[in-house]
């Protein structure tokens, strides 16, 4: 029987700004059974897509992204905020549910033709995910899927990712 993952998500109203209900995955991460179940279920969806790499977005995408990469036998690529990566980078700008930012990956992190799975904890407006798609495609990688733990359906993130294979474990 699978674990009730939604019961392990904490709603934090008005964080980081008034009006935002933050979906906190820390209780899920802290529960060994829930963490294992979440990774197993995403891996089951991802396996047939045969990714070479998992790309995780800063910061929570690193936690489950690293576990997912290890479970799938893939390498891991970090998409970071500007100025954080030490080597030569490529960048893409994006809009957040609560602000603007940009993300970078190392220019040699993805080799042309590699199959990349893009992963994050939450799909909200899709701006972050779209930026990571752009990063992968700038380096001529192939995006083979975008699995998330949580999808905030009312923000229509999927519309920005039309044509891509999007999956989520918990929908609100």
Catalytic annotation on 60?
yes
3-class secondary-structure state, position 132: helix
- Active-site residue, 137 included: no
Phi, psi of 24 (to 5 degrees): -90, 115
C-alpha torsion sign, points 124, 11, 70, 166: negative
Distance CA 113, CA 69 (A): 18
Select from 2-10, 15-23, 34-42, 71-79 the region that touches ligand AMP (CB under 6 A). Answer: 15-23
Kindly name the residue from 58, 97, 137, 142 that is annotated as catalytic. Answer: 97
Binding mask 63-102 for ligand AMP (x = CB under 6 A): ---------------------------------xx-----
Q: Is 122 among the residues that bind ligand AMP (CB under 6 A)?
A: yes
Please, are residues 72 and 43 in contact by the beta-carbon 8 Å criterion? Answer: yes
Alpha-carbon dihedral angle through residues 157, 154, 66, 52, given to the nearest 10 degrees: -40
> How near is the Cβ of 126 to ligand AMP at its closest, in Å?
5
Residues binding ligand AMP (CB under 6 A): 20-23, 57, 60, 96-97, 120-129, 157
Residues with catalytic roles: 60, 97
């Amino acid at each position: 029987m699978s674990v009730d993952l939604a019961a392990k998500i904490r709603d934090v109203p008005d964080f980081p700004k008034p009006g935002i209900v933050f979906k906190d995955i820390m209780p899920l991460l802290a529960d060994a059974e829930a963490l294992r179940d979440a990774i197993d279920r995403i891996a089951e969806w991802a396996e047939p897509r045969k990714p070479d790499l998992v790309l995780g977005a800063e910061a929570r995408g690193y936690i489950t992204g690293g576990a997912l990469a290890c479970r799938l036998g893939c390498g891991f690529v970090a998409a970071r905020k500007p100025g954080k990566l030490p080597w030569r980078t490529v960048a893409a700008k994006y809009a957040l549910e609560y602000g603007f930012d940009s993300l970078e990956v190392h220019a040699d992190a993805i080799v042309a033709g590699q199959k990349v799975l893009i992963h994050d904890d939450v799909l909200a407006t899709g701006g972050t995910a779209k930026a990571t798609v752009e990063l992968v495609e700038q380096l001529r990688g192939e995006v083979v899927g975008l699995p998330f733990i949580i999808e905030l359906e009312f923000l229509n993130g999927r519309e920005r990712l039309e044509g891509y294979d999007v999956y989520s474990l918990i929908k609100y």
